[in-house]
Structure 1
Amino acid sequence: MIALNIAIFIPFLAAVFVALLYRKGSRLHIGVLPMIVAAGLFIFLLSFIPQIANGETFLYTLSWIPAYDIGFTTYLDGLSLILALLITGIGTLVILYSIYYLSDNEQLGNFYTYLMLFMGAMLGVVLSDNMMVLYVFWELTSISSFLLIAFWYQRKRSREGAQKSLLITVSGGFAMLIGFIMLYVMTGTMSVREVIVTIPEFTEHGLFVPAMIMVLLGAFTKSAQFPFHIWLPDAMEAPTPISAYLHSATMVKAGIYLVARFTPVFGGEGVWFWMVTGVGIFTLFWGSFQAVRQTDLKALLAYSTISQLGMIMSMFGMGSAALYLGHSTESVFYTQATFAAIFHLINHSTFKGALFMVVGIVDHEVGTRDLRRLGGLATFMPITFTISMIGSFSMAGLPPFNGFLSKEMFFNAAVDITNLGLFHADTIGNLIPVIAWVASTFTFIYSLIIVFQTFLGPYKEDRLEHPANEPPIGMLISPVILGSLVLLIFFFPNIIGDYIITPAMASVFPDLAATADLGVNISYWHGWMDTALHMTIGVVVVGVLLYSFPRFWKWIYALFPLNWSFNTVYNFTLEKSEDISNFITGKYMTGFLRNYMVYIYAFFILVVGGSFFLTGAFDFKISGNAPISSFEWIIVITLIVAAVSILFAKSRLTAILLNSVIGYGVALFFVVFRAPDLALTQTVVETVTTVLFLVAYYFLPEWQKESGTRKVDMTKLLISIGVGATFTVVALAVQNNRLFDRISTYFENSYELAGGKNIVNAILSDFRGFDTMLEVVVLLIAGIGVYSIIKLKVGKRGEKLEDQ
Structure 2
Amino acid sequence: MLHLAVLLPFLAAGLMIPLTRRLPRLHTGWVALPVPAALFLYFAARLPDIRKGEPLSATIRWMPSLGIDLSFVLDGLSMVFALLISGIGILVVIYSIHYLDRGTENIRNFYVYLLLFMGAMLGVVLSDNLMVLYGFWELTSIASFLLIAFWNRRERSRYGALKSMLITVFGGLAMFGGFNLLYVMSGTYSIREIILQVQTISPEPMFIPAMLLILLGAFTKSAQFPFHIWLPDAMEAPTPVSAYLHSATMVKAGLYLVARLTPVFGGHAQWFWLVSLTGLATLLYGSFKATRQTDLKALLAYSTISQLGLIMCLLGLGSAAFFFRGDVGAIAYTAAASAAVFHLINHAVFKGSLFMAVGIVDHETGTRDIRKLGGLMSLMPVTFTVSVIGSFSMAGLPPFAGFLSKEMFLAAVLHIRELDILNVQVWMLAFPVIAWIASVLTFVYSMILVFGTFGGKLRREELPKAPHEASPGLYLPPVILVSLALVFGFAPNLLSHSLIEPAMLSIYRGLGDELIPSGEAFGVSIHFWHGWTPELFLTLGIIAAGILLFRGYRRLRLLNKESGGRNYLSRLYDISLKGMESGSARLTDLYMTGSRRHYLLYIFGFFILALGGTLLLKPGLSFGLKTYAPVSFYEYVIIAVMLGAAVAVPFAKSRVAAILLSGAVGYMVTLLFVLFRAPDLALTQMMVETVSVILFLLCFRYLPKLKPERVKARVKTINWIISGGVGLIMTFVALAAMGSSPFEPISEFFLKMSYSQAGGKNVVNVILVDFRGFDTLFEIMVLGIASLAVYGLIRLRLEPGDSASRSLRPALLSKADFPARSNDVILRTMSSVIVYLILAFALYLFFAGHNHPGGGFIAGLMTSAALILLGFVNGLDTLRKALPVNYRIVTAAGLVIAILTSAGSFAFGAPFLSHAFGHFELPLLGDTELATAVLFDLGVYLAVVGVTMNMITTIGRDR
Question: Fold conserved (TM > 0.5)?
Answer: yes
**Structure 2 contact 667–689 (Cα < 8 Å) conserved:** no
Match of 1:778 in 2: 782
Match of 1:171 in 2: 170
How do 1:667-678 and structure 2 match up within 5 A? 670=672
Match of 1:206 in 2: 205
Counterpart secondary structure, 1:371: coil
What amino acid is aligned across from residue 742 of structure 1 in structure 2?
Answer: P
Distance in 1, matches of 2:279 and 2:552, equals 29
Distance in 2, matches of 1:660 and 1:607, equals 28
Distance in 2, matches of 1:344 and 1:679, equals 68
In structure 1, runs of 5+ residues without a counterpart are 793-804
Distance in 2, matches of 1:394 and 1:577, equals 44
1:702 positional shift: 7.2
Q: 1:689 to 1:409 in 2, by over 3 A?
A: closer
How do 1:396-411 and structure 2 match up within 5 A? 396-411=395-410
Q: 1:469 to 1:715 in 2, by over 3 A?
A: same
Q: 1:297 to 1:424 in 2, by over 3 A?
A: farther
Deviates more, 1:297-306 or 1:377-386: 377-386
1:725 positional shift: 3.6
Distance in 2, matches of 1:183 and 1:21, equals 44
Counterpart secondary structure, 2:522: coil
Partner residue of 1:524 out of 512, 523, 528 = 528
Deviates more, 1:265-274 or 1:668-677: 668-677
How do 1:26-37 and structure 2 match up within 5 A? 26-37=24-35
**CA deviation profile, 1:58-83 (whole Å, cap 9, x unmatched):** 22333333333333333222222211
What amino acid is aligned across from residue 780 of structure 2 in structure 1?
Answer: V
Deviates more, 1:51-60 or 1:493-502: 51-60
How do 1:647-726 and structure 2 match up within 5 A? 651-652=653-654, 663=665, 670=672, 701=705, 703-704=707-708, 706=710, 713-726=716-729
Match of 2:69 in 1: 71
Match of 1:431 in 2: 430
**CA deviation profile, 1:555-614 (whole Å, cap 9, x unmatched):** 379997655522122222222222233333333333332222212221111111111111
1:207 positional shift: 2.3
Deviates more, 1:402-411 or 1:74-83: 74-83
Match of 1:575 in 2: 578
Distance in 2, matches of 1:224 and 1:659, equals 61
Match of 2:614 in 1: 611
1:114 positional shift: 1.7
1:91 positional shift: 1.2
What amino acid is aligned across from residue 138 of structure 2 in structure 1?
Answer: E
Q: 1:786 to 1:100 in 2, by over 3 A?
A: farther
How do 1:509-520 and structure 2 match up within 5 A? 509-510=508-509, 511=512, 512-514=515-517, 517-520=521-524
1:182 positional shift: 2.3
Distance in 2, matches of 1:764 and 1:457, equals 74
Match of 1:544 in 2: 547
**CA deviation profile, 1:360-419 (whole Å, cap 9, x unmatched):** 000000000011111111121112111111111111111122111111111111111111
Q: 1:754 to 1:453 in 2, by over 3 A?
A: closer
Match of 1:595 in 2: 598
Q: 1:546 to 1:727 in 2, by over 3 A?
A: same
Q: 1:10 to 1:787 in 2, by over 3 A?
A: farther
1:553 positional shift: 3.8
How do 1:345-384 and structure 2 match up within 5 A? 345-384=344-383
Q: 1:739 to 1:557 in 2, by over 3 A?
A: farther
Distance in 1, matches of 2:445 and 2:686, equals 81
1:330 positional shift: 2.8
How do 1:153-168 and structure 2 match up within 5 A? 153-168=152-167
Match of 2:281 in 1: 282
Within the alignment, does 1:585 sit opposite 2:588 as a pair? yes
Distance in 2, matches of 1:657 and 1:102, equals 57
What amino acid is aligned across from residue 518 of structure 1 in structure 2?
Answer: F
In structure 2, runs of 5+ residues without a counterpart are 797-959
Match of 2:320 in 1: 321
**CA deviation profile, 1:181-223 (whole Å, cap 9, x unmatched):** 2222322333222222222222112222222222222211111
Within the alignment, does 1:500 sit opposite 2:499 as a pair? yes
Match of 1:799 in 2: none
Match of 2:86 in 1: 88
Distance in 2, matches of 1:704 and 1:446, equals 76
Distance in 2, matches of 1:391 and 1:59, equals 36
Partner residue of 1:23 out of 21, 24, 32 = 21
Deviates more, 1:576-585 or 1:628-637: 628-637
Distance in 1, matches of 2:495 and 2:765, equals 66
TM-score, with structure 2 as normaliser: 0.75
Deviates more, 1:199-208 or 1:313-322: 199-208
Distance in 2, matches of 1:12 and 1:190, equals 24
How do 1:295-306 and structure 2 match up within 5 A? 295-306=294-305
Distance in 2, matches of 1:487 and 1:653, equals 80
Q: 1:685 to 1:383 in 2, by over 3 A?
A: closer
**CA deviation profile, 1:76-95 (whole Å, cap 9, x unmatched):** 22222211111121111111
What amino acid is aligned across from residue 251 of structure 1 in structure 2?
Answer: M
Q: 1:159 to 1:521 in 2, by over 3 A?
A: same
Deviates more, 1:748-757 or 1:252-261: 748-757
Deviates more, 1:546-555 or 1:261-270: 546-555
**CA deviation profile, 1:529-554 (whole Å, cap 9, x unmatched):** x2212222222222223223336543
Distance in 2, matches of 1:694 and 1:781, equals 22
1:734 positional shift: 4.5
Q: 1:674 to 1:628 in 2, by over 3 A?
A: closer
1:479 positional shift: 1.1
**Structure 1 contact 417–426 (Cα < 8 Å) conserved:** no
**Structure 1 contact 135–173 (Cα < 8 Å) conserved:** yes
Q: 1:65 to 1:56 in 2, by over 3 A?
A: same
1:755 positional shift: 5.0
**Structure 2 contact 292–559 (Cα < 8 Å) conserved:** no
**Structure 2 contact 223–229 (Cα < 8 Å) conserved:** yes
Within the alignment, does 1:388 sit opposite 2:387 as a pair? yes
What amino acid is aligned across from residue 534 of structure 2 in structure 1?
Answer: T
Deviates more, 1:553-562 or 1:767-776: 553-562
**CA deviation profile, 1:598-648 (whole Å, cap 9, x unmatched):** 12221111111111111143345768989999999999999989988887x
Distance in 2, matches of 1:659 and 1:38, equals 61
**Structure 1 contact 69–190 (Cα < 8 Å) conserved:** yes
Partner residue of 2:558 out of 555, 560, 572 = 555
Q: 1:791 to 1:604 in 2, by over 3 A?
A: closer
1:295 positional shift: 1.1
**Structure 1 contact 405–490 (Cα < 8 Å) conserved:** yes
Distance in 2, matches of 1:692 and 1:62, equals 43
How do 1:782-797 and structure 2 match up within 5 A? none
What amino acid is aligned across from residue 73 of structure 1 in structure 2?
Answer: S
What amino acid is aligned across from residue 339 of structure 1 in structure 2?
Answer: S
**Structure 1 contact 64–72 (Cα < 8 Å) conserved:** yes
1:420 positional shift: 0.9
Match of 1:467 in 2: 466
1:687 positional shift: 10
Deviates more, 1:173-182 or 1:753-762: 753-762
Counterpart secondary structure, 1:372: coil
Deviates more, 1:718-727 or 1:758-767: 758-767
Q: 1:616 to 1:373 in 2, by over 3 A?
A: same
Distance in 1, matches of 2:776 and 2:610, equals 29
Counterpart secondary structure, 2:69: strand
Match of 1:6 in 2: 4
Give the paired residue count: 787
Match of 2:329 in 1: 330
Counterpart secondary structure, 1:74: strand
1:224 positional shift: 1.0
Within the alignment, does 1:55 sit opposite 2:24 as a pair? no
**Structure 1 contact 98–241 (Cα < 8 Å) conserved:** yes
What amino acid is aligned across from residue 531 of structure 1 in structure 2?
Answer: P
Distance in 1, matches of 2:375 and 2:167, equals 39
Deviates more, 1:432-441 or 1:203-212: 203-212
Match of 1:446 in 2: 445
**Structure 1 contact 80–126 (Cα < 8 Å) conserved:** yes
Distance in 1, matches of 2:79 and 2:762, equals 56
1:174 positional shift: 2.3
Q: 1:265 to 1:643 in 2, by over 3 A?
A: closer
TM-score, with structure 1 as normaliser: 0.88
Match of 1:131 in 2: 130
Counterpart secondary structure, 1:427: helix
